[in-house]
Amino acid sequence: MMESGVTVKNKLEVIGGANGALIWLFTTKAALRNREGEVIGLEGFSRDAQRSEDMIAPFHEFRACIEYLQEHLKDDISISDLADLSCMSLSTFERKFKQHFSRTPKQYILHMKVHEACRLLPATQSIARVAVETGFGGQSYFTKQFRSVVGITPKQYQRSLIAAGRRETRFS
């Protein structure tokens, strides 16, 4: 978004709430530009999607899939199993999933795992343990995937939270 400057409107996102419940949000983000037209920041807002039931009706076909992902995040998750759970062929599932979530199922799973890692890292000393708890297996692979999503290593993330005096942060 920072590089392209393209506005994102009403993108449906799901985050984990404090009690483990799924919270569905519609997010809109836009680039802030200086006088030369360069992107210098972002502005955005999110609103509770549960209040807009008509808008999320197309996503109900994925509810069981998303709940399954949340419950089995540390497991090796098969995209074809998710398609079966959603009563769709693999190609239909992948096409509809990307259409609704703006990510492939594989990308979505990665983001869910990294989101969970962001929640665990402040309270856990061992990055290797977080790697196992979030289903990445090894610390090296976890670090590579975490950096690809967040832009910094898990250790840098942990240190930045400690420096800021925060125990947890939201990740989208």
**pLDDT exceeds cutoff 70 at 81:** yes
In a domain, 116, yes or no: no
Q: Is residue 19 one of the residues assigned to a domain?
A: yes
Which tens digit of pLDDT belongs to each residue from 46-55?
Answer: 887 766 665 6
**Per-residue confidence at 31, pLDDT binned at 50, 70, 90?**
confident
Mean pLDDT of the chain: 84
Weakest mean pLDDT among 29-38, 39-48, 160-169: 160-169
Which has the higher per-residue pLDDT, 5 or 45?
A: 45
Instruction: Name residues whose C-beta falls within 8 Å of residue 7's C-beta, 6 or more positions apart in sequence.
Output: 28, 29, 30, 31
Does residue 79 belong to any structural domain of this protein? no
* Cα 164–chain centre separation: 23
Residue 162 CB: number of other CB atoms within 10 A?
11
Tokens representing residue 77 in the block: 């998750």
From residue 51, how far is each of 36, 44, 58, 115 by CA, in Å? 39, 19, 15, 24
Of the two residues 9 and 88, the one the predictor is more confident about is: 88
Predicted TM-score (pTM) of this structure: 0.66
Domain that holds residue 26: 1-52
By CB neighbour count within 10 A (0-12 exposed, 13-18 middle, 19+ buried), where does 32 fall? exposed
Number of domains in the chain: 1
**Domain CATH for 39:** 2.10.70
Task: Look at residue 168 and tell me whether its pLDDT is greater than 70.
Answer: no
Kindly give the residue spans of alpha helices, DSSP state H, lying in 20-104: 53-56, 63-71, 79-85, 90-101
In a domain, 30, yes or no: yes
